[in-house]
Amino acid sequence: MASTAWEPTEPDGVVANPLEQLTLEQLRTRTSMKWTAYPTDVLPLWVAEMDVLLAPAVADTLHRAVAAGDTGYPSGHAYADALAGFAADRWQWDGIAVERTAIVADVMVGIVETLRLLTDPGDVVVVCAPVYPPFYAFVTHADRRVIEAPLTVGGRLDIDALADAFTAARRLSQRPVLLLCNPHNPTGAVHTSSELIAVAALARHHGVRVVSDEIHAPLVLPGAEFVSYLSVPGAEDAFALFSASKGWNLAGLKAALLVAGPEAAADLARLPEEVSHGPSHLGILAHTAAFTHGRTWLDALLAGLGRNRSLLASLVTEHLPQVDMMHPQATYLAWLDCRRLGLHSSNPQNGPGVVSELAGPARMFLDQARVALSSGHVFGTGGAGFVRINYATSHAILHDAVQRMGAAVATTQTR
């Protein structure tokens, strides 16, 4: 069926902005983590959930499955076919071979299972900090050690820092791995082809395998182009993980795909069969529908996110002049440098990856502005004094949140 059959349209035939279809009152009826973790006077702009309705193609697929009682075990490779088609159409990349894929429950579960294929307990995993906090938690809980290769001050990959980290990793570990975030969370950087080629050459030189988390790949905004790590020369022995979870807001419908490069096929063949029992049939149906029929909806979302990115930058300039916003090329998450507010010296010293902790500016914005943000210190080295804000919401909520934050700063600085 053609995707346009499912798309909601405005009178001129343009697909409606998914970010402007729900009011705050409607959103507060939700029972997901984003809307239940804090009291009802708090605006939650922290965890990576978007304030959108399901893409109609996804909703229709789920409705039909439920109506038919089609809630059994997953079967076939339609999900992999859908991702391969999406990659070819969107990224002009035909490198996803269905026979070198495996379904996994979600991206982080897939990462841990891949680390178990490539490393032993005690081996080193390099991460580019500041980075998605579960990288620290999941790696250490799997009995592997983390070494950081800090990003540049501009939030991009630092090849010299990676070289130092790889050298240290080889001294400590027989089978080190680089866990890459592409596009990068929280800075929103989209790694270029030249950057990834340099990483691949360096990894080959040091004998480091690469696992690339590419969950945000569908969310590259105007002005940048996504390049999968698996597509660059030298990455043939790497793995990448994909999901429709972030692009179509399907976190509650778990399913992801682990993709192996040509030289990693033998490693993938050792993946225990039970690992692919994690995703649900409904999850796979939803993700398959998203990649196959949800592209027009995604285009409307990306246009809305592009407008929100510009709006957020303007609001920060107006209401938070002491805060610097890193311009995200992808995701719906913005990294705000609040160090000039002088609030980050109180950050706890319990290390990164502690998602539940709030400190410094994030604590102040929650207590004084009643806006929940992600605290920068949990993203590792370089995160103290920063906050991450989720701008996948309506203009009204974004205006309210930043105005509250500005008022809170003004009040704090006049005391």
Residue 1 pLDDT grade (very low, low, confident, very high; cuts 50, 70, 90) = very low
Question: Across residues 26-50, what is the average pLDDT?
Answer: 97
Residues paired with residue 355 on neighbouring β-strands, in sequence order? none
pLDDT at 165: 98
Please give, one letter per residue, the 3-state secondary structure of 158-182: CHHHHHHHHHHHHHHCCCCEEEEEC
Question: Residue 358: its pLDDT value, please?
Answer: 81
pLDDT band at residue 344, thresholds of 50, 70 and 90? low
Q: What confidence tens digit (pLDDT) does each residue in 76-85 have?
A: 999 999 999 9
Cα distance between the two ends of the chain: 61
Question: Domains of the chain (ranges plus CATH)?
Answer: 3-54+295-413 (3.90.1150.10), 65-293 (3.40.640.10)
Average confidence (pLDDT) over 150-174: 97
Helix axis angle, 107-118 to 134-141, nearest 10°: 40
Continuous segment of H or E residues that includes residue 239 = strand 239-242
Average predicted confidence (pLDDT) for the chain: 94
Instruction: Report the percent of the chain where pLDDT is more than 70.
Output: 93
What is the model's pLDDT at position 143? 98
What is the per-residue pLDDT across 356-409, written as a single tens digit (0 to 9) for each?
Answer: 468 899 999 999 999 999 999 999 999 999 999 999 999 999 999 999 999 999
Q: What is the pLDDT of residue 192?
A: 98
pTM to 2 decimals? 0.94
Lowest-confidence region among 31-35, 41-45, 409-413? 409-413
Residue 224 tokens read as 């940048």
Looking at residue 293, its pLDDT comes to 97
Kindly tell me if the per-residue pLDDT of 11 is higher than 60. Answer: no
pLDDT, mean of residues 311-336 = 98
C-alpha 376/C-alpha 352 separation (Å) is 9
Answer whether the bond into residue 8 is a cis peptide, omega within 30°. Answer: no
The average pLDDT across 119-145 equals: 98
51 and 392 Cβ atoms separated by less than 8 Å = yes
Whether the per-residue pLDDT at 2 is higher than 70: the answer is no
Residue 5 has pLDDT above 60, yes or no: no
Mean pLDDT of 220-230: 97
Confidence of residue 355 (pLDDT cuts 50, 70, 90): very low
Mean pLDDT (whole number) for 267-278: 95
Helix residue spans in 207-264 (DSSP H): none
Determine the residue type at 95.
G
Residue 357 has what pLDDT?
66
Residue 273: band (very low, low, confident or very high) from pLDDT cuts 50, 70, 90: very high
Q: Residue 415: is its pLDDT beyond 80?
A: no
- Name the amino acid, one letter, at 114: T
How does pLDDT run across 109-126, given as a tens digit for each residue?
999 999 999 999 999 999
CA distances from 33 to 27, 47, 52, 252 (A): 12, 8, 15, 10
